């Protein structure tokens, strides 16, 4: 009991000297990331260009979490099919399911949380050190008092170092958060492209079914004329060849359909052979496309990879400031009680230690390294900015080309091909043209209808790529330069 009482007094002096309560950390409890007293929002005060800036843990986290659409029904149970009961697959529901299920996004979120958890570690003081010594010669002695020493010490970094470490950690966490957003954009693009491929293969199967009916009718007409002695049997055989080609084409399309469904299910982290509702019959093609200048401006402002690089530059700048502060000493304060002193007034003791940063070469090297890292990141940001500008221009031109192709198919090519095939049928029945001419007209119509749906899917897929390139939906970009495709 005596030892306990005498040990408590130096500890009290030590914490009074530091101005901290026993068991404290470098952050008040209401600003600690895992504080129980403030579970909803955590605020960190960091030094910035305009003084102290409040950075919220919640502000970093909230933009990265998926925002559920109340209009989209989700079936996220482990055994529930995500689209049970849906008669038609919706692209918004598909995107939301992928963002909620895909393990790649979960992996990126976990990596972001790993980086975010570094903040309380790098901004906390090291644990205090408790030391003691005993004088064995004083044990049971009648000549001297029992001799012992108790000491508590605490390392204190030079002012500003903890704040710079925290600034670097939060900047890295913010960069990792933007990496999550970049993954979300990539997943959104991938699932939209897969959805449009699904639409294309379903429409191609419909074209194939219609084509088989068409070739059956062609064979019937050729057989009638052959039986009447107006044509050779070659006309009937050629129709059989075209029917065989279409059946072989159907086998290929069914294979592609299974692969596309497997790709969509894999994005949702489901078995590849899970059933999916059919895609919509029609694809909306009415929209407006912003001008390329507005798209470039939006991309530079919204691209998560550019924002992540900017945050990593800020982290490196904080590391540079920390390297510069390494030229200044850190401190260690201590308080103790030494009963070896026979004079009681000399027994309570306080002390201060500090390192002596004499070896300048090592510290100058660290500063040079930190500055080089900043230069490297700035060059990387400039290169990535050029790449983003190029990607925007390239995607813009591809969307415009797809727009013009769809207008051409819808207004010129398909109407002409349908009229040509219709005229060829009538002329063949009337005996005005050969079977080869009719077959060529029918084949062109089938191929062009197939190409039209391919163009629809490619156009929408290119728009999905453009949205990924500019960092978000086209609808949020100000400035348009005209309507695209009219209904």
Residue 81 located in a structural domain: no
Phi and psi torsions of 178, nearest 5°:
-65, -30
pLDDT for the residue 236: 86
Q: What is the pLDDT of residue 168?
A: 96
Q: Report the domain count for the chain.
A: 1
Q: Quote the distance between the C-alpha of residue 203 and its chain's center.
A: 32
Lookup: tokens for 361: 């070469």
Residues forming a β-bridge with 156: 331
* Two tokens, residue 439: 């077959």
The C-alpha atoms of residue 387 and residue 28 are separated, in whole angstroms, by: 44
C-alpha 281/C-alpha 179 separation (Å) is 36
In a domain, 246, yes or no: yes
φ, ψ dihedrals at 53, nearest 5°: -115, 135
212-248 burial code (b ≥16 CB/10 A, e <16): bebbeebbebbeebbeeeebeeebbebbeebbeebee
pLDDT score, position 215 = 86
Gyration radius of the chain's alpha carbons: 37
Answer yes or no: are the C-beta atoms of 138 and 146 closer than 8 Å.
yes
Instruction: Count CA within 13 A, CB hemisphere, residue 289.
Output: 28
Write the burial class of residue 28 (CB in 10 Å: 0-12 exposed, 13-18 middle, 19+ buried). exposed
Nearest to 206 by CA among 133, 280, 272, 152: 280
Place of tokens 């979490």: 65
pLDDT at position 467 is 95
Q: For residues 217 and 204, give the distance between their C-alpha atoms in angstroms, rounded to a whole number.
A: 20
Residue 71 lies in a domain: no
**pLDDT (tens place) for every residue of the chain, 487 residues total:** 333 333 333 333 333 333 333 333 333 333 333 333 333 333 333 333 333 333 444 444 434 444 444 444 444 444 566 887 788 999 999 999 999 999 999 999 999 999 999 999 999 999 999 999 998 988 888 888 889 999 999 999 999 999 999 999 999 999 999 999 999 999 999 999 999 999 999 999 999 999 898 888 888 888 888 888 887 888 888 888 989 999 999 999 999 999 999 999 999 999 999 999 999 998 877 667 889 999 999 999 999 999 999 999 999 999 999 999 999 999 999 999 999 888 889 999 999 999 999 999 999 999 999 999 999 999 999 999 999 999 999 999 999 999 999 999 999 999 999 999 999 988 988 888 888 888 889 889 999 999 999 999 999 999 999 999 999 998 888 654 444 443 3
Residue 52: the pLDDT is 32
Structural domain containing residue 275: 2-35+89-476
Report the CATH number at residue 458: 1.20.1600.10
**Residue 445 lies inside a defined structural domain of this protein:** yes
pTM: 0.76
- What pLDDT, on the 0 to 100 scale, is given for residue 286? 61
């Amino acid at each position: 009991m005596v030892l306990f009482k005498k040990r408590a007094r130096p500890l009290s002096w030590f914490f009074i000297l530091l101005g901290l309560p026993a068991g404290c950390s470098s952050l008040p409890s209401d600003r600690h990331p895992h504080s129980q007293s403030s579970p909803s929002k955590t605020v960190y005060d960091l030094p910035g260009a305009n003084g102290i800036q409040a950075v919220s843990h919640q502000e970093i986290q909230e933009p990265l979490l998926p925002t559920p659409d109340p209009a989209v029904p989700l079936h996220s149970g482990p055994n529930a099919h995500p689209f049970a009961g849906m008669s038609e697959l919706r692209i918004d529901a598909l995107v939301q399911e992928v963002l909620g299920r895909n393990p790649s996004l979960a992996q990126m979120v976990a990596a972001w949380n790993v980086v975010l958890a570094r903040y309380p570690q790098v901004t906390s003081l090291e644990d205090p050190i408790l030391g003691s010594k005993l004088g064995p010669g004083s044990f049971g002695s009648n000549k001297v008092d029992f001799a012992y020493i108790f000491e508590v010490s605490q390392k204190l970094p030079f002012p500003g170092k903890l704040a710079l470490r925290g600034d670097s950690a939060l900047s890295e966490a913010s960069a990792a958060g933007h990496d999550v957003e970049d993954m979300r954009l990539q997943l959104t693009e991938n699932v939209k492209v897969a959805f449009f491929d699904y639409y294309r293969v379903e429409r191609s199967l419909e074209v194939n079914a219609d084509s088989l009916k068409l070739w059956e009718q062609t064979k019937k007409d050729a057989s009638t004329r052959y039986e009447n002695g107006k044509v050779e049997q070659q006309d009937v055989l050629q129709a059989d060849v075209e029917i065989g080609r279409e059946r072989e084409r159907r086998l290929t399309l069914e294979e592609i359909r299974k692969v596309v469904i497997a790709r969509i299910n894999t994005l949702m982290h489901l078995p590849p052979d899970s059933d999916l509702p059919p895609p919509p019959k029609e694809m909306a093609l009415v929209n407006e496309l912003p001008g390329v200048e507005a798209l470039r401006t939006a991309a530079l402002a919204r691209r998560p990879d550019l924002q992540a690089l900017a945050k990593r530059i800020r982290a490196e700048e904080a590391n540079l400031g920390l390297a510069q502060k390494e030229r200044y000493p850190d401190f260690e304060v201590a308080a103790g009680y030494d009963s070896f002193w026979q004079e009681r007034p000399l027994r309570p003791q306080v002390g201060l230690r500090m390192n002596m940063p004499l070896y300048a070469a090592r510290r100058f090297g660290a500063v040079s390294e930190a500055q080089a890292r900043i230069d490297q990141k700035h060059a990387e940001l400039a290169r990535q900015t050029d790449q983003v500008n190029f990607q925007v221009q390239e995607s813009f031109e591809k969307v415009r080309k797809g727009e013009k192709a769809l207008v051409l198919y819808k207004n010129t090519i398909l109407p002409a091909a349908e009229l040509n095939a219709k005229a060829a049928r009538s002329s063949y029945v009337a005996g005005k043209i050969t079977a080869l001419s009719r077959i060529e007209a029918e084949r062109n119509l089938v191929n062009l209808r197939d190409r039209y749906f391919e163009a629809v899917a490619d156009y929408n897929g290119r728009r999905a790529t453009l949205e990924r390139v500019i960092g978000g939906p086209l609808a949020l970009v100000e400035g348009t330069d005209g309507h695209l495709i009219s209904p």
